[in-house]
Amino acid sequence: MANNITRRAVMTLFSSPTCAMSHSARFVLHEKAVTSDVEFYDPNDPPEDLLELNPNGTSPTFVERDLVLYDSRIIMEYLDERFPHPPLHQMDPVSRANARMIIKRIDQDWYTQLDEILISGEKKSSRAKKLLRESILSAEPIFAARPYFMSDEFSLIDCVVAPLLWRLPSIGIDVTSTSEVIANYTQRIFNRPAFKSSLSEAEKEMIELVK
């Protein structure tokens, strides 16, 4: 089955159309201007060719010839190393390690709450929404300090933060009307051509639904 995929495209990213982790990987693909197939699928009904490669059918799953990766952050790191221009990580080991720790913290503090909100449903998610909103607003000085999240240059960290911020209005969390700094950051990132190109139709509708 992997050979069939290789014949169809050198690289394929299997992606849920609504998964924030998958969105991060797609964002990197478009920032790098990598030619690849993005195969959107229902995670509740993974296609057979995906299950052949990744029996769990998790999103995202990245395939390049004999390589199969199914962790969003590993996929992002691989793409940045495989296609070094433009670089999305600092070149020195200390800065790269710090960036990895920041991403790990974002996943633990923000993405964990996002997952709880999406899994719990509207009635049971009020506490998680409150915690996520307060945590993001408490980071306002970080958003204000530099043009990008803890960096003077656009980086993989922004590729992690942006998909989460994009989803906030659709789950009833408003941070931009409270914080002009965060509002400016979101507009700066959301207006990047690569971010716009990375959006699935379902993700575009997330914003349309709250207008």
Which residues carry out catalysis? 19
Q: Does residue 85 contact residue 45 with C-beta atoms inside 8 Å?
A: no
70-87 per-residue burial string, b: 16 or more CB within 10 A, e: under 16: bebbebbbbbbeebeeee
Other C-beta atoms within 10 Å of 109: how many?
14
In this structure, what token pair is assigned to residue 173?
A: 């969390």
What own/partner pairs with CB < 8 Å and gap ≥ 24 does 127-136 have? 129/171, 129/172, 129/173, 132/168, 132/173, 133/168, 133/173, 133/174, 133/175, 135/109, 135/110, 136/110, 136/165, 136/168, 136/173, 136/175, 136/182
In this structure, what token pair is assigned to residue 17?
A: 């159309």
Residue 169 is classified by DSSP as: G
